[in-house]
Structure 1
Amino acid sequence: MNSTMNKLKGPGVYIPPPLLYVLTFIAAVRIQKIIPINNALFNLTALKGTGVFFLMAALYFLVRSLRQFFLTKNTLVLIKPATSLQITGIYKISRNPMYTGLAILYFGITCLIGNWWNLILFPLLFIIVQEYIIKREEKYLELEFGEEYKDYKRNVRRWL
């Protein structure tokens, strides 16, 4: 695909990222029914509290990043071109606050429902998000926004 096509189509990610998180989570829950792992550790009050903390942290990342996208009228659909480069607000902390928020949300719900398979499958999810989504987005943003994105990339971490 030539660079003009990439610019017109956006990053070319055809599977919505939240769907990957949800599908991985559901797969883990189903695997637990087939190959159960004792989840007694997840009954600890401290772990439940950690889950609630993670949920609040996830909401912080998700609400702030989504709000910024809506205010700047940018697209969340990864098969459409971006209208602007997000580099302020929550995007000063992370180049990918939505994916960071989704990962934290995943851990928060995992702590509350208590399923080891969610933790076991998370590295696979992380690799898919990193390789299939984020790296495509980065190539696209570099093509679309050039030196401005390269400077941003040098100064802000991919995750946290």
Structure 2
Amino acid sequence: MENNTLNLARRDHAGVYVPPPMFYVATFFLSLGLQRLAPLPSAWLTTNAAHAARWAVLASALLLLLPALWRFAVSRNTLITVKPAKSLQTTGIYALTRNPMYLGLLVMYAAVAFFKGNTWTFLLIAPLVLVVQAYVIRKEERYLQREFGAAFEHYKNKVRRWL
């Protein structure tokens, strides 16, 4: 019986079967489709301010994503959400936000919106956040609570979900 329990624990994971970046990609393509079906003015994306913003937003995304990916590489943790976590990330960028990869993907989505998007791309940011939070982050948090218990509870109380 103990072996079965041990094997089940090893196979436990967040239960997120759709790779999280796909939510961002799908939302972007949805925005392109919506622009074709119900066009909204997007001339504001061609202003000097928008041109300057796109590079700043892109740099911000990289400042979130690269250190988060580095932490995972250094700790030999997995990015695959249907595999068990090897460790709880709490240092580096993870000391500022519990979800630097999802926040970084959101900022990257905004950067892509400035480069190739439209007004719909920006209007879909709020629904995108809600979907990622409901389908990905909450499931991951329940898993991390099961897996790391008090250590995750302490971390959760100390570091905010987004910023």
Q: Is the 8 A contact 1:42 1:113 kept in 2?
A: no
AA of the residue aligned to 1:46 = A
1:113 aligns with 116
The 2-side partners of 1:134 and 1:12 are apart by 11
For the residue of structure 2 that corresponds to 1:146, the secondary structure is: helix
Shift of 1:158: 0.3
Q: Is the 8 A contact 2:94 2:100 kept in 1?
A: yes
AA of the residue aligned to 2:82 = I
AA of the residue aligned to 1:150 = E
Distance 1:124 1:5, change over 3 A: farther
2:94 aligns with 91
Identity %: 41
AA of the residue aligned to 1:53 = A
Per-residue CA deviation, residues 87-143 of structure 1 (Å, 9 max, x unaligned), is: 000000100000000000111111222401111222111111001100000010011
Shift of 1:42: 0.9
AA of the residue aligned to 2:92 = G
* 1:120-139 → structure 2 map (5 Å cutoff): 120-139=123-142
| Bigger radius of gyration among the two | 2
Per-residue CA deviation, residues 75-97 of structure 1 (Å, 9 max, x unaligned), is: 11111100000000000010000
* 1:48-87 → structure 2 map (5 Å cutoff): 48-87=51-90
AA of the residue aligned to 1:122 = I
The 2-side partners of 1:5 and 1:37 are apart by 50
Task: Report the number of matched residues.
Answer: 158
Q: Is the 8 A contact 1:6 1:12 kept in 2?
A: no
The 2-side partners of 1:101 and 1:114 are apart by 17
Distance 1:83 1:130, change over 3 A: same
The 2-side partners of 1:78 and 1:118 are apart by 26
Q: Is the 8 A contact 2:32 2:117 kept in 1?
A: no
User: What is the RMSD of the two structures over their aligned residues, measured on CA atoms?
Assistant: 1.5
**Unaligned runs of at least 5 residues, structure 2:** none
**Unaligned runs of at least 5 residues, structure 1:** none
Q: Is the 8 A contact 1:7 1:143 kept in 2?
A: no
Shift of 1:8: 2.1
Distance 1:118 1:110, change over 3 A: same
1:43 aligns with 2:29: no
Per-residue CA deviation, residues 27-74 of structure 1 (Å, 9 max, x unaligned), is: 101211221111111111111211110100101111110111011000
